[in-house]
């Protein structure tokens, strides 16, 4: 038997493959990283533009149209449409994959932002907010399943990376667009956001794939790629998940965490302005929060691989509850800076951990349907009540302190609920071995 034949069957090392001929394999997770970056820019322009960017437009809309804070904040409550559509979006992800729903949803969001550049009436503000809510339901829903499929060993860190775009928009986009508003107009700022979302929609259509092909998946590295505390997927169906206490505790905890955006984030710039700060200085507070949250997101993902997503979530939301109390006590003083930094340390973890808690507890196979069912409540309740209560309390008291205190109490309640979650057993009342 010739040595040539033996050599041809000998596996090559990673270094040899990297330096091999043109027929050698491409890097294993190049496609996975491409998908992570699509998700990154999706959350940057779609989520960042609608959440971090909301506060920038409050005073310009008040000045041009004479709308009250309550009237403007009602648009946030219209976001409940996104929650109503969440179960359908999750079902579509499980049934037909992520590419189509991501592309269509991002296109709808882009149209919503672009048309705002020409609005002149309050009813148009509400109609375009409804259109935004329709699109938003399918922009974030696929991310958790894509990350879980492409990165089975580092899903926490990759999930954290994928959704840092939201914070990057707050860190970079908000101050830049605030300058656009000051130098040009709020209409141009909306057009810029819309163009960014449209670009991501095109990228999603050409780049997103639901599962890795041969040689594309993440490789476990020397037995260390899988985190010590990572739990095996149960892959429960939606029906099986609903019959577990864990489903309802997670729903309660994530609903409480959902008040962070409509009750605090979108009200932060108006709050600082009400405390006597200029618009530019108030914007810097939100920018600082975005920067801290950005820096902590990947760290929280890493911790979730070791402490579990459930424990990490409890720690993060407790930090948020304490941080918002510090913000209230700081008022308009410079002590608001350390308060915001402390809040941001916890807030950075909520985005990735909300999806990771569901994925860790119920598995990947029917993740979209389960997350959609949970989001039906976690999206609707905060968006329906949070902005209206915040706006009404400000209009009647001239302060956001009371609404912020309510949010802090809800965060503490959410920590208790998720702490009570116990992972379902693989056999028993669930109706046999999950598939």
Residue carrying structure tokens 């196979």: 365
Q: pLDDT tens across 200-249, in order? A: 999 999 998 888 877 776 776 544 444 445 556 677 889 999 999 999 99
The whole-angstrom separation of Cα 24 and Cα 342 is: 48
Q: Is residue 435 part of a domain?
A: no
Q: pLDDT tens across 301-354, in order? A: 899 988 899 999 999 999 999 999 999 999 999 999 999 999 999 998 988 899
159 near 143, Cβ under 8 Å? yes
Q: What is the token pair recorded at 376?
A: 């039906």
Q: Is residue 414 part of a domain?
A: yes
Domain that includes residue 398, residue range? 30-213+228-419
Q: Is residue 157 part of a domain?
A: yes
Q: What is the token pair recorded at 357?
A: 């808690």
Mean pLDDT of 14-35: 52
The whole-angstrom separation of Cα 175 and Cα 178 is: 5
Instruction: Look up the CATH number of the domain holding residue 321.
Output: 1.20.1250.20
Q: Is residue 4 part of a domain?
A: no
Q: Is residue 278 part of a domain?
A: yes
Residue carrying structure tokens 């050599």: 7
- Write the CB contacts of 95 (distance below 8 Å, at least 6 apart in sequence): none
Phi, psi of 424 (to 5 degrees): -60, 150
Residue carrying structure tokens 């493959």: 17
Q: Is residue 328 part of a domain?
A: yes
Q: Is residue 206 part of a domain?
A: yes
The whole-angstrom separation of Cα 221 and Cα 117 is: 49
Residue 322 sits at the vertex; the CA angle it makes with 316 and 323, to the nearest 5 degrees, is: 85
Give the chain's radius of gyration (CA, Å). Answer: 22
The number of C-alpha atoms within 13 Å of 178 and in the hemisphere containing its C-beta is 24
User: 228-255: b or e for each residue (b if 16 or more CB lie within 10 Å)?
Assistant: eebeebbbbbbebbebbebbbbbbbbbb
Q: pLDDT tens across 265-314, in order? A: 878 888 998 898 988 888 888 888 888 888 888 899 899 988 899 999 99
Q: Is residue 22 part of a domain?
A: no
189 near 177, Cβ under 8 Å? yes
9 near 106, Cβ under 8 Å? no
**Would you give the DSSP letter of residue 57?**
G
Number of domains making up the chain:
1
Q: pLDDT tens across 68-104, in order? A: 888 888 887 787 788 888 889 889 988 888 899 999 9
């Amino acid at each position: 038997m010739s040595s040539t034949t033996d050599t041809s069957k000998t596996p090559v090392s990673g270094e040899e493959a990297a330096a091999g001929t043109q027929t050698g394999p491409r890097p294993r997770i190049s496609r996975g990283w491409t998908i992570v970056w699509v998700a990154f820019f999706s959350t940057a322009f779609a989520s960042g533009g609608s959440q971090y960017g909301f506060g920038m437009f409050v005073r310009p809309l008040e000045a041009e149209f004479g709308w009250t804070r309550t009237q403007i904040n009602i648009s946030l409550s219209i976001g409940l449409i996104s929650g109503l559509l969440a179960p359908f979006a999750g079902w579509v992800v499980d049934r037909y994959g992520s590419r189509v729903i991501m592309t269509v949803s991002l296109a709808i969001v882009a149209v919503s932002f672009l048309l705002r550049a020409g609005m002149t009436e309050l009813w148009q503000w509400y109609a375009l907010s409804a259109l935004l809510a329709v699109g938003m339901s399918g922009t974030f829903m696929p991310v958790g399943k894509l990350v879980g499929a492409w990165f089975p060993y580092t899903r926490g860190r990759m999930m954290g990376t994928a959704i840092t775009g939201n914070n990057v928009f707050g860190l970079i986009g908000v101050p830049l667009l605030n300058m656009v508003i000051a130098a040009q107009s709020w209409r141009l700022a909306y057009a810029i956001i819309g163009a960014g979302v449209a670009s991501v929609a095109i990228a999603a259509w050409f780049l997103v794939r639901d599962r890795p092909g041969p040689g594309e998946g993440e490789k476990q590295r020397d037995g260390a790629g899988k985190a010590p505390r990572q739990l095996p997927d149960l892959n429960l169906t939606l029906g099986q998940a609903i019959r577990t206490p864990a489903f309802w505790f997670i729903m309660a905890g994530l609903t409480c965490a959902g008040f962070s955006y409509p009750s605090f984030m979108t009200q932060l710039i108006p709050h600082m302005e009400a405390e006597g700060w200029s618009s530019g200085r108030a914007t810097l507070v939100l920018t600082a929060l975005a920067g801290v949250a950005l820096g902590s997101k990947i760290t929280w993902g890493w911790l979730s691989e070791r402490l579990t997503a459930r424990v990490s979530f409890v720690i993060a939301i407790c930090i948020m509850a304490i941080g918002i109390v510090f913000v209230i006590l700081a008022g308009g003083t410079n002590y608001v800076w350390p308060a915001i930094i402390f809040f941001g340390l916890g807030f950075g973890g909520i985005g990735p951990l909300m999806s990771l808690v569901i994925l860790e507890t119920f598995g990947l196979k029917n993740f979209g349907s389960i997350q959609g069912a949970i989001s039906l409540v976690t999206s609707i309740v905060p968006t329906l009540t949070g902005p209206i209560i915040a706006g009404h309390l400000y209009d009647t008291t001239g302060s956001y302190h009371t609404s912020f205190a309510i949010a802090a109490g809800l965060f503490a309640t959410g920590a208790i609920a998720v702490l009570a979650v116990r992972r379902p057993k693989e056999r028993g009342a669930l109706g046999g071995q999950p598939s």
